[in-house]
A and B are shown apart, each in its own frame.
Chain A
Amino acid sequence: MNPIDPRIHQALDGEIARGNLPADLRRAVERLDAAAELLAAAAPAAGLESRVMAGIRRPLPSRARRLVRWLSTPQTVMVRIRPAWSLALAAAVTLLALVPLGDRWGGPMLGEHEGIAQFVGRFPGARSVHVVGSFNDWRTGTIALEGPDHDGVWRGALVLPAGTYEYMFVVDGERWIPDHLAEREVADNFGRENSIVIVRAVRR
């Protein structure tokens, strides 16, 4: 199955305005919209798996609703409670964020095409946590995260040329663990999934 233009997904996910799409992509988006409307208007179809319909009918559990609401207001959670969930949200945001480190912050001097990748993970009881990935040829033991703090959280940051990188965490030198907070993931050649970090150049 050939992948479709990523802008179609972005438009359907509300990340970009549909009006900015070229006409052919807009038609594709409208086709999928129409298909979804047809499905919504139809009676529950016999061909649909019971699991699907069960999933649709299943009400959002109240606990889940609270979690969703909780996650939608990260700043409150992070300041007042600091549970693991708030760390998850913070990491997901910072991974893709432009980090405006400059002279004012005393941060590293970044080249025009460089950015910062931040890594955060909670590994209670871990003795060491390293990050390995396409940025260091998957060599273990070369990039250590700092930690743990009192919540068992390990952190690290890398200055990297702008680009997309695959990575995993290595806990105690032997357990390879994907980053559950990563925005994206991709299947590797070993039956697992690597995490993806996108590093964007810091604008100067």
Chain B
Amino acid sequence: MERALAQLSPEKREAFVLKHVEGLSYQEMAAVTGERIPTLKMRVHRAREALLHVLEDHA
């Protein structure tokens, strides 16, 4: 799992961790990172896609 995370760009990794590990809402993520919500959503979505593909490959 860490290897899968390491393959992500730092921005996507950060977005996934803040969203799913820290459990922040997109509004809170925007407040923490200074990024816009649509940007954060896109990063979280891309991170999920990448992780899911890795997880399925190793399922």
Q: Which residues of A contact B (CB under 8 A)?
A: 1-4, 8-9, 12-13, 28, 31-33, 35-36, 38-40, 42, 45, 47-49, 51-52, 55-56, 58, 60-61, 64-65, 67-68, 71-72, 180, 182-185
Contacting pair B48 A4 (CB below 8 A)? yes
Q: Which residues of B contact A (CB under 8 A)?
A: 1-6, 10, 13-14, 16-18, 20-22, 25, 27-28, 31-33, 36, 38-39, 41-42, 44-46, 48-53, 55-56, 59
Contacting pair A35 B32 (CB below 8 A)? no
Contacting pair A183 B38 (CB below 8 A)? yes
Q: Apart from A4-B49, A33-B20, A52-B14, what are 18 other A-B pairs with CB-CB below 8 Å?
A: A2-B49, A3-B45, A8-B52, A9-B48, A13-B41, A31-B52, A32-B51, A35-B20, A35-B51, A47-B6, A48-B5, A49-B10, A52-B17, A55-B14, A55-B32, A60-B31, A68-B25, A185-B38
Contacting pair B28 A51 (CB below 8 A)? no
Top 10 A-B residue pairs of the complex, sorted by shortest distance between their CB atoms: A64-B31, A36-B20, A47-B6, A52-B14, A40-B21, A49-B10, A185-B38, A47-B2, A45-B2, A39-B21
Contacting pair A32 B48 (CB below 8 A)? yes
